[in-house]
Chain A
Amino acid sequence: MGILTLENVSYVYSPSTPFEKEALHDVNIDFTEGKITGIIGHTGSGKSTVAQLLNGLLKPASGKVLLDGCDIFDPSVKLSDVRFRVGLVFQYPEYQLFEETVFRDIAFGPTNMGLDEAEIKRRVIESARFAGLDEELLGRSPFELSGGQKRRAAIAGVMAMEPEVIVLDEPAAGLDPRGRDEILSGIRRYRDEKGNTVILISHSMEDMALYSDELVVMSRGTVLVSGTVDEVFRQSALIEESGLTLPQITRVFDRLRADGVNIRDGVYTVEDGYREMLSLLKGNTNA
């Protein structure tokens, strides 16, 4: 059993009204401690609903959300504690900034936790570093920052609570490729140094292949496949059926192999492909 578990969870929006819509149906996901798990799926597949269930912002219609084996909706569990232990970064989090300085905005979460000043300062500086925010920006107003910097500040605001599990809903949406790489690799560095569990929500197969250890593919409110990146990407037929596509590089290599080129399968990142191609070319000239 992992650190965070969804057990037979279903969720319905606007129940018993004409707008009733079942967003999740009997979902079971087990998030492994210390890993980066990617949740991937089409628009409307239920990814964001899962995110809000994980820290108790939404209450499942049926089923349980277990944190370290405890039901988070058990009366003996304080929901505010759950929210400090499971940090959630919403989509486009830059719209939640409000303080006079970036420093104070990042400190909002830790202050709510009731930490002392020295500890708050340490956490703010550290999380700003993980999010890739220059220390000199901390004294500025958050509204003077560029879009990408605002995004980083907002992510740092959740990281600073040092939650055991951090859930990021499309953290790189709408950023240019460089900003996207910086933010995602910052998140991975955070995991590597802190050992905390990370849950990434995205619809980019490329990003997921590059940054996650495990993957959950969702489709129409259910889990389609889950497992390690390798295990999931091997089920290519199932994934394409759900309307998602494998990473471009994987498709190129699959096609090459189908045409009789002697390369291995399981190439999911451009880096991998580059190395594979290089060794292939070297092998050919040697022969």
Chain B
Amino acid sequence: MLKDITLGQFFPGSSPIHRLDPRVKLVLVVLLVVLIFSAKNIFAFSFLVLGVISLVLLSQISVKVVLKAIRPILILMLFTAIINLFWTKGTGDPIFALGFIKVWREGLVNALFMVLRIVSLVTGTSILLTYTTSPIALTDALERLLKPLKVIKVPVHEFAMMMTIALRFIPTLLEETDKIINAQKARGASLDKGNLIDKVKAFVPVLIPLFISAFRRADELACAMECRCYRGDEGRTRMKVLKMGEIDYLSIVVFLVFTAVLFFLNTLPTSISVR
């Protein structure tokens, strides 16, 4: 039951997006977010949506999976849409009025664009990052990108290592939780009866063994790392050295062209634009 929870849903593959250098992906994702929020009119938005769709196609990840990523934020989208729809005051006559509720054309446009922004945001970031980059590659890239911060004594390597270890142990601890729950159930523990306080109390027999086992594992891991002479960042070499290839430079160029076109489209005169 607990195994159904998936964190960092990485789908292994060999598409062009999978093969991109994770550093490039990280930077591009940040720029993409900026782009999504700088789109201003119908042309720019159409172009943006086109771009996101081609990202999805390039990644060879099924549309079903992408839709699944959007499902949890449906409520947020609906909420944003409604707020934009009713709270945007336009010029001229409202296109719909009922008592104090008035909807202007501008509100309709704003609501539509906001929903498009959220969808592109979620789809774009998950396709570029979480779906196509393994968590380990991601932390690796993060460590490399944040390396300059070491000058001001930020322990970048230590943070990255902590993140890697945490990610590594999520499935292990989930499995362990499942096992402990089953063992306590076999002794007649009922975990889902009574009111909230009863339920919290009922989880004590699960939480205590879980914490103890987490500490034990941490101890063992620390010991194993020390036995293999782990001593932090100093003088450490990597098994996989990140290297920019043709595909990375190409994607940066494509992205820059995309950005230029989008900003050009933003300047085109049209009445359908964000206020």
Whether chain B is bound by chain A comes out as: yes
Contact between A161 and B187, CB atoms less than 8 A apart: yes
- A19 nearest in chain B by CB position: B3
Contact between B213 and A95, CB atoms less than 8 A apart: yes
Contact between B182 and A52, CB atoms less than 8 A apart: yes
Contact between A95 and B180, CB atoms less than 8 A apart: yes
Contact with A along B182-199 (1 / 0, CB 8 A): 111111111000000000
**Does A93 have its Cβ within 8 Å of any Cβ on chain B?**
yes
Contact among A52, A95, A109, A143 with B187 in the assembled complex (CB-CB below 8 Å): A109
CB distance from B114 to the nearest CB of A (A): 36
**Does B147 have its Cβ within 8 Å of any Cβ on chain A?**
no
Contact between A96 and B184, CB atoms less than 8 A apart: yes
With a cutoff of 8 Å between Cβ atoms, the chain A residues found around residue B148 in the complex are none
A93 and B183 alpha carbons, distance in the complex (Å): 8
Contact between B179 and A90, CB atoms less than 8 A apart: yes
Contact between A161 and B188, CB atoms less than 8 A apart: yes
Contact between B183 and A90, CB atoms less than 8 A apart: yes
CB distance from A48 to the nearest CB of B (A): 11
A83 and B185 alpha carbons, distance in the complex (Å): 8
A41 and B180 alpha carbons, distance in the complex (Å): 24
A87 and B183 alpha carbons, distance in the complex (Å): 10
Within 8 A of B (CB), among A88-123: 88-90, 93, 95-98, 108-109, 112-113
**Does B205 have its Cβ within 8 Å of any Cβ on chain A?**
yes
Contact between A112 and B189, CB atoms less than 8 A apart: yes
With a cutoff of 8 Å between Cβ atoms, the chain A residues found around residue B212 in the complex are 95, 143
With a cutoff of 8 Å between Cβ atoms, the chain A residues found around residue B213 in the complex are 95
Contact between B190 and A96, CB atoms less than 8 A apart: no
With a cutoff of 8 Å between Cβ atoms, the chain A residues found around residue B204 in the complex are 98
Contact between B187 and A112, CB atoms less than 8 A apart: yes
Main secondary structure on chain B at its contact with chain A?
Answer: helix
Q: Would A83 and B186 be within 8 Å (CB), given that A95-B180, A95-B213, A96-B180 are in contact?
A: yes
Contact between A98 and B209, CB atoms less than 8 A apart: yes
With a cutoff of 8 Å between Cβ atoms, the chain A residues found around residue B186 in the complex are 55, 57, 83, 87-90, 158
**Does A247 have its Cβ within 8 Å of any Cβ on chain B?**
no
Contact between B185 and A57, CB atoms less than 8 A apart: yes
**Does B208 have its Cβ within 8 Å of any Cβ on chain A?**
yes
Tell me the total A-B contact number using a CB cutoff of 8 A.
Answer: 56
A88 and B188 alpha carbons, distance in the complex (Å): 11
Tell me how many residues of B have a C-beta within 8 Å of chain A: 18
Contact between A113 and B209, CB atoms less than 8 A apart: no
**Interface residues of A toward B: which range?**
20 to 34
With a cutoff of 8 Å between Cβ atoms, the chain B residues found around residue A11 in the complex are none
With a cutoff of 8 Å between Cβ atoms, the chain B residues found around residue A158 in the complex are 186-187
With a cutoff of 8 Å between Cβ atoms, the chain A residues found around residue B187 in the complex are 83, 96, 108-109, 112, 157-158, 161
Contact between B188 and A80, CB atoms less than 8 A apart: yes
CB distance from B216 to the nearest CB of A (A): 9
**Does A268 have its Cβ within 8 Å of any Cβ on chain B?**
no
Most buried by B among A112, A157, A158: A112
A143 and B187 alpha carbons, distance in the complex (Å): 19
Contact among B182, B188, B189, B208 with A90 in the assembled complex (CB-CB below 8 Å): B182
Contact between A112 and B209, CB atoms less than 8 A apart: no
CB distance from B143 to the nearest CB of A (A): 31
CB distance from B173 to the nearest CB of A (A): 12
With a cutoff of 8 Å between Cβ atoms, the chain A residues found around residue B189 in the complex are 108, 112
Contact between A98 and B205, CB atoms less than 8 A apart: yes
- Residue positions of B touching A, CB distance < 8 A: 176, 179-180, 182-190, 204-205, 208-209, 212-213
The 4 closest A-B pairs by CB, nearest first: A112-B188, A98-B208, A96-B183, A109-B187
* Interchain residue pairs with CB less than 8 A apart (30): A55-B186, A57-B185, A80-B188, A80-B190, A83-B188, A84-B188, A87-B186, A89-B186, A90-B182, A90-B183, A90-B186, A93-B183, A95-B179, A95-B183, A95-B209, A95-B212, A95-B213, A96-B184, A96-B205, A96-B209, A98-B208, A98-B209, A108-B188, A109-B188, A112-B187, A112-B188, A157-B187, A158-B186, A158-B187, A161-B187
